[in-house]
Amino acid sequence: MFQCIDGAKINDKLVKNEFVFVTLVTSKKEYDEHLKSLLDSGFKSENCSFVFFNNQDGNIHDPFKSFNHILNHIHANYVIFVHQDTRFIFDNFEQLQNKLDELSKLDPNWAVAGNAGGSYDLQKKFIRITDPTNKNLKTSALPHKVNTLDENFLILKKESLVAFSNDLNGFHFYGTDLCQQAELRGYNCYAIDFHLEHLSSGNKDYRYYQARNRFIEKYQYKLATRFLRMTTGRICLSGSSLFSKLFNNKHILFLLRKSSIYKFISKS
């Protein structure tokens, strides 16, 4: 088949390729079947590298930390974080290249893409997949701009320098985190029309809800209203347009500062 690289043992830059596939492996059998489907679809060592993190003896390698580690060593156009239980039995190497070329023409400012995601509209999802509950599912016209992406298949444009949060952990929400980090850096994210099979529909056990709570708490803190003292002046940053307009009025900002009321509004 082809050589796979243990991500935990990499110390030098990888050979430059079009794609680098990165996978957390808990089952060698599943991973071998995943690799065979890639090979059969034209993803070969001439154009791709394949990196794994060995979790067969337990959840040793956390995606947030492990994936950030490997990003420091990857020399490629695109990094694909993908589940071991995906099968590339529909679309192939050339089709993926074409989809990403089309996306770059549509929006050169994209950083993250995938096959399933959502937006700030709570009523809509944008999905292209076959899984145990959906056969040949395509929910809308694609590509479509999104704000979250599922972790079964995540494509990162390497030149964007976007990475995962350093202060999160666990095995859920890292796709959503990557999208939010991309947005904070001024990039866009998309669900694209690339069809693969995912052998699982997902598992929401207690670890999912623990990760959900950590994710909410992290962004609640990061996005909270705060007042900043710079060497050149003072400003208020807030996700609320009302707070932003109100608290950046120079007269109100002066009163808040003199009365110290801002300390009760701002994040600590």
**Spans of all domains in the chain:** 5-220, 226-265
User: Which pTM was predicted?
Assistant: 0.91
pLDDT digit string (tens) for the chain, length 268 residues: 567 999 999 988 887 899 999 999 999 999 999 999 999 999 998 999 999 999 999 999 999 999 999 999 998 999 999 999 999 999 999 999 999 999 999 999 999 999 999 999 999 999 999 999 999 999 999 999 999 999 999 999 999 999 999 999 999 999 999 999 999 999 999 999 999 999 998 888 899 999 999 999 999 988 889 898 888 899 999 888 899 999 999 999 999 989 988 888 886 5
Identify whether the C-beta of residue 155 lies closer than 8 Å to the C-beta of residue 91. Answer: no
Phi, psi values for residue 15, rounded to 5°: -60, 140
Query: Residue 13 has what DSSP assignment?
Result: P
pLDDT value, residue 268 = 57
The rounded distance, in Å, linking the Cα atoms of 214 and 209 is 9
pLDDT value, residue 88 = 98
Q: Residue type for 198, please? A: H
DSSP strand pairing (148-149 vs 116-118): antiparallel
pLDDT value, residue 1 = 56
- Rounded to 10°, the helix 63-71/174-184 angle is 50
Q: What DSSP line would sit under 181-204, residue for residue? A: HHHHTT-EEEE-----EES-----
Q: Residue type for 40, please? A: D
> Which residues make Cβ contacts (< 8 Å) with residue 79, sequence separation at least 6?
19, 20, 22, 70, 71, 155, 156, 158
Sign of CA dihedral 85, 146, 109, 183: negative
- Cα-trace Rg, the chain: 21
Domain 5-220 = CATH 3.30.110.30: no
